[in-house]
Amino acid sequence: MPRMRQLAVAVSSLALATGGLIITTTGTAHAASCSQSYLPIQDAACQPGALNSAVTQSTINSTICVPGYSSSIRPSTSYTNALKVKQIAEYGYSDTSTADYEEDHLIPLSLGGNPTSAQNLWPEPRYDVGGYAATDKDTVEYKLYKAVCAGTIRLAPAQRAIATDWTTALQAVGLS
């Protein structure tokens, strides 16, 4: 390998390593590992959540509270399935069957979550983990959405509560 190419590879590797990426011997970049120890919630270092800038308290009546809004901005399954495969590997799940995971929006689209950000999507197990499954989070999301659109709670506290820990989100906003 010519000397300039070796130098370029070394500099690129260093830049990627400082950005939290690891270069394998095949030259493929992989994100740092995510921990399963937080399940049934995501590893916040990997998926802290991300918001859709078009959704604010003042726009909820023309965005999230309009029937069909979430489905109108939902990313394609080809996008989410590819991301799910990558993130299943990052979490180091021994079960790698994509059917056993929901590529879930941490902050749901119905609460103004970013539709495509990898910081807002994670492979949530469909099966029971610590007494919770993906369907349990769906119930919490719906209750928060209904409360936000009814004006019972404000959008930002609902977003913070579900991003922090969906298993306690209803209690955090006083909806238990």
Q: Which of 148, 146, 147, 126 is nearest to 137 (CA)?
A: 126
Neighbours of 99 (CB within 10 A): 7
DSSP 130-165: TTB-HHHHHHHHHHHHHHHHHTSS-HHHHHHHHHH-
Q: What is the mean pLDDT of residues 4-17?
A: 35
Task: Check whether 10 has a pLDDT greater than 80.
Answer: no
* Cβ-count burial 69-83 (b if 16+ within 10 Å, e if not): bbeebebeeeebeeb
3-state secondary structure labels for all residues of 39-53: CCCCCCCCCCCCECC
pLDDT grade for 26, boundaries at 50, 70 and 90: very low
Q: What is the mean pLDDT of residues 84-91?
A: 97
| Structure tokens, 166 | 């969906």
- Relative orientation angle of helices 134-150 and 155-164, to the nearest 10 degrees: 170
| Structure tokens, 2 | 């010519």
Residue range 41-80, pLDDT digits in tens? 999 999 999 999 999 999 999 999 999 999 999 999 999 9
Q: In percent, how much of the chain has pLDDT > 90?
A: 81
pLDDT grade for 176, boundaries at 50, 70 and 90: confident
Task: Check whether 17 has a pLDDT greater than 90.
Answer: no
Task: Check whether 140 has a pLDDT greater than 50.
Answer: yes
Q: What is the mean pLDDT of residues 89-95?
A: 96
